[in-house]
Every structure is written in C-alpha cells, then in structure tokens.
Structure 1
Amino acid sequence: MCLIEIVIRFLTTGAGGKQLDIEDASTILTNQNIKSPDDVQQVVDFKEKCRKNVGEDAVKAIEKSQQDLFPCFSSIIKMDKLRHEINRSIPRGELDLVFKKYCGRRESLMACVEDMFTSLEKCMNDQERKDLQIVREAIDAGIDFVCHKDGDRIALFMAEEGEECLVSQKDNIRECVEEKVPEIKDAEEDMSLLSPQTFTINEANCKKLNAMHHCVVKHTEKCEDPTPANILDSLIIQVLKVTPCWQTSGAETVASQSQYLLSDTLTLMAAALTAANILL
C-alpha cells in the first residue's frame, strides 16, 4: 500500500470506525502472508537501522508502543458501543450529541498516538522528525475538521447518509483510483514493490494524490444528496493544506514548483492515519 492510498483510505473511512475496505485490506494481507509488521520488509529495515544507530532498547520501545496503540484506543472508545450509539441517535436526530461526546475524548486518543510517535522519534534524524511533524499536523487538521463545533460536520455527513454513499461508490472509487494510479494495485499484490520513492512527496506523487482526491469527489457526487461529497471534499482539502502538496492557489493545483521531499519516514503515516481513523 502506498502513501497516497493510505491518505485516501483514511479520508474515506466511514464514520464510527467502520472502514469501508477492511475486508479487502484483510484479503491483501492474507494473500501476501503478512501476519505481523515484521513480515513487511520496510518495517524490518527501519528497525534494523534503529537497532544499529540507537540500540535494542529503542527498538523494543517502538514494538511496545505499536502493541499498546489499539488497546489504548479501545480503553477510551468501544467501537461496538459507538456504532450502537450512532445507529440509535440517527432516528432521534441526536447525532450531534454522540459526536460531541466522543470529540471530547480527542486529547486522550491523541495521547495514545503520541506515545508511539515519541518512541519512533528516538530512531529518527532531524529531517525525519520534521517529516513526522507533518504527519502530526495532517492528523490534527483532519480531526479539527471532524470535531468542528463538537462534530457538527460529521453528524451532518452521517445524517445525510454519507456512509451509505461511500459504500455504494466504493468499487467505483477503487476502479477510478487504480486507473489513475496503477501502481497501487501492483503494491497490493506485492508489497516488496514499495520503495522510499513511494513515500516521497514530490510533484509526481502530489499529482497522484490530487487524482485520488478527484476520484473520491467525482463518484460521491453521484449520490442523491450532494452533502457527503461536499464534506469529504472539504475534509481532504483541509488535510492537504498542511502538506507540501498544497499551494495557496487552491486544492486542485499541485505544488509543481515544490522541491520539498519527505524521506521514507512517511512509511509511518500508515500507523498515524490509522490512529486518526478512530474519530472518523
């Protein structure tokens, strides 16, 4: 899975923690015999670099923080309970109360992520730490959008059947993305094809990310109500604004003059965006 797919999958995750393509993702991992992070070569390489430069204790700290991440989340939010509350609140018109409640737990949830980031930073150089800061800012931007006015936007998204809209268009979005960015399908079939260049934010990858953004908006606009597409579009734009892919001229313009390159630290964005997924 490449960086740009991770970003779009994060941004098109259904509210309440129901990831639209969780079964597809599980199939991909099974087909590639990936049962743990250590089955991914890029993870092994990062740990080996950390072990060599910092020491075994730093590697163990990273492994522990990864193991603790989702138990930390589940101690704060029970996903089955959240789903039940969402379903119960929709006919009552009380979605805003549900998201107000869970957005109030934002700091506790982000503390779970920060524990992992802190352990990772010990094995990073100065540039990699700067790169990770962009990941932090992207997560914050997404959650700021979702929790604006105690979650009124995500409540509106749900009330206007935004999740159903995404589910109905999932296959169309996937086909559009694979057409625009064919290497995504290649990586799903063989993760060894991933390289540091996959996780580099440069002109070419910004264009791919922009194309994926277009796929999401184009197909969700086919739903009966335009509200979900408008909200998703605004969410993606807000997250892009904190990345080097953004120019002041607008979300549809790729940073063609940008020479800013993020190192392979962005392999860590998968974990970071999964963490932010808890509020979407």
Structure 2
Amino acid sequence: MIWKTLFIALLAVGAYAEVQIPNDQAQYDTMLSNYCTKNGASEHLQDVKAAITAFGDCLKGLIDIETITDEIKKAMPNGELDEVFKKYCEKTPQLKNCLYTMLEGVKPCMDSAIRSHIGDIKNGTSQLLEFICYKDGDRIALFYAEGGPACLQSKIAELRDCGQKLKDSVSTVEEAKAMSLDTQCHKYDELTSCMVTELEKCDTPTPGNMAESLFKYIRNTSPCPKKN
C-alpha cells in the first residue's frame, strides 16, 4: 500500500540517507541510468530524462525562487503576504499538471511497487497542496508572518535528532518493510511528536501548531486508526 511505500521512503531518506543527491550532472545521469536498468527499463532512459527536464522547465515557468523571495521580503512589512501566496496558490492546477505529466513520464523506470500507486501519489500530492493553499494560502502566509522559516532554520539540529531516534529504533530498512501497519503508525507518531515538540520551543507557537496540523492531516489520510 502507498502508506508503507511512503513510510519506507521516510526511513530511507530521513533516517538512513540511502537516497543520495547527485553532486553533478554526470552523477545524476549515472544514478538515473542505474535505476532504470535495475527496473528493466533502460530503453526508456532518454524519455524519462526528457520528462524530468520538462518538469523542471514547467516549475521554472510557474515559480521563480528569487522572485518569490523578493516578493515575500517586500510584502512582510506591509502585512501583504496573503496576496503573494494567493497569487501562487492560484497556480495550483498548473503545478498539479506539471507533476502529473512528470510522474507519467518517469513511470516506465519506476519500481513496480511504486508504479502501481501512481494514482495514490497524485491524490496525496493534490491533498497536500490543498492543505497548504487552504483559503488562498492563508496557512502558509501565517507561517511566514509568524517566523516559521526562521524557526525551522534554528531547529535543524534538533529535527535531525528526531530522525536519528527513528533510525536508532529500526535496525534496517528491511526491518521497516516487515513492520505491521500499527507499528508504522506508532513510529510515525513518535517522529512527528518529537518534531512538533522541538518547533514548539520557538519564539511563537505558530510553527509548531502548523506542523502539528500538517502531520495530523497526513495521518488522517493514511490507513492509520483515527485518534480521538
């Protein structure tokens, strides 16, 4: 199920760091080639690379990091962050289309377990964007206005420690794959509770509250039993 796939990915990236970010184009090409070959799809390599490149171009056409950073800096003193994020949240349909097109383009090289859940990934992404852009981006505007980015930056070491605790509690990724759903949910709760606790130590409660709401939202869309 997609929940288990996401949980294993969380362990691999957050705790075990098994997914390495390439340092240059040659490493990236090699990594992608090896991945496609591993999944018996080496003949699709060029099409997959083209899909990823098109996705990057699509994103650049929607969001320019330097531009949005400048807009946020100018809007904050005037209390106009909501207008900035409203403008970008209105691009959600185009962003979804960029992502969906890319997912279909790279599907041939995907592991069969992930490929069978493309629909779930699309649905999950859509729900996450809807959470972030609730009421035209009010949530993310409040997060920025209340010092959310600075809070995250100041708590990087502590958040990494939360990931380390997860790693220490699970010996290997193979062990994680064998976990029952209840155990996975418990591990998720431990990790997210640790992260929220650290963020609650920031100068304002908003970053911690926002993170807690996001984690609850993700959990409620999972197969985990609902909490009272």
TM-score (norm: length of structure 2): 0.78
Partner of 1:140: 126
Partner of 2:160: 174
Question: Does the alignment pair 1:159 with 2:151?
Answer: no
Q: How many residues align?
A: 217
User: After superposition, where does 1:34-49 map in structure 2 within 5 Å?
Assistant: 35-36=27-28, 38-39=30-31, 44-49=34-39
The answer to whether the 8 Å contact 1:165/1:228 transfers is: yes
Query: What is the CA distance between 1:76 and its match in structure 2?
Result: 1.4
Query: What is the CA distance between 1:200 and its match in structure 2?
Result: 8.3
Aligned in 2, Cα 1:3/1:127: closer, same or farther, shift over 3 Å? Answer: closer
Partner of 1:79: 65
From 185, 191, 194, give the equivalent of 1:206: 185
From 86, 105, 108, give the equivalent of 1:119: 105
Query: What is the CA distance between 1:106 and its match in structure 2?
Result: 0.9
Aligned in 2, Cα 1:137/1:37: closer, same or farther, shift over 3 Å? Answer: farther
Helix, strand or coil for the counterpart of 1:247?
A: coil
Partner of 2:10: 4
Structure 2, unaligned stretches of length 5 or more? 1-7
Helix, strand or coil for the counterpart of 1:90?
A: helix
Query: What is the CA distance between 1:177 and its match in structure 2?
Result: 1.9
RCO comparison, higher one (Cα < 8 Å, 6+): 1
The answer to whether the 8 Å contact 2:163/2:191 transfers is: yes
- One-letter code of the match for 1:4? L
- One-letter code of the match for 1:87? K
Question: Does the alignment pair 1:247 with 2:228?
Answer: no
Q: Determine the C-alpha separation between the residues in 1 that align with 2:169 and 2:31.
A: 21
Partner of 2:4: none
The answer to whether the 8 Å contact 1:177/1:211 transfers is: no
The answer to whether the 8 Å contact 1:160/1:225 transfers is: yes
Query: What is the CA distance between 1:249 and its match in structure 2?
Result: 2.8
Aligned in 2, Cα 1:148/1:30: closer, same or farther, shift over 3 Å? Answer: closer
TM-score (norm: length of structure 1): 0.65
- One-letter code of the match for 2:71? E
Helix, strand or coil for the counterpart of 1:96?
A: helix
Deviates most, 168-177 or 145-154: 168-177
Percent identity reads 27
Helix, strand or coil for the counterpart of 1:181?
A: helix
The answer to whether the 8 Å contact 2:11/2:167 transfers is: no
The answer to whether the 8 Å contact 2:133/2:139 transfers is: yes
Query: Could you list the per-position Cα deviations for residues 93-141 of structure 1 after superposition, in whole angstroms to 9, with x for gaps in the alignment?
Result: 0000000000011111121111111123456798644422222222112
Deviates most, 99-108 or 201-210: 201-210
Q: Determine the C-alpha separation between the residues in 1 that align with 2:51 and 2:175.
A: 23
Query: What is the CA distance between 1:239 and its match in structure 2?
Result: 2.2
From 58, 63, 80, give the equivalent of 1:94: 80
Aligned in 2, Cα 1:199/1:78: closer, same or farther, shift over 3 Å? Answer: farther
Helix, strand or coil for the counterpart of 1:224?
A: coil
- What CA RMSD, in Å, does the superposition of the two structures yield over aligned residues? 3.5
Aligned in 2, Cα 1:209/1:249: closer, same or farther, shift over 3 Å? Answer: closer
Structure 1, unaligned stretches of length 5 or more? 10-24, 187-192, 251-280
Query: Could you list the per-position Cα deviations for residues 3-51 of structure 1 after superposition, in whole angstroms to 9, with x for gaps in the alignment?
Result: 1158879xxxxxxxxxxxxxxx9xx6479xx9316337xx724444342
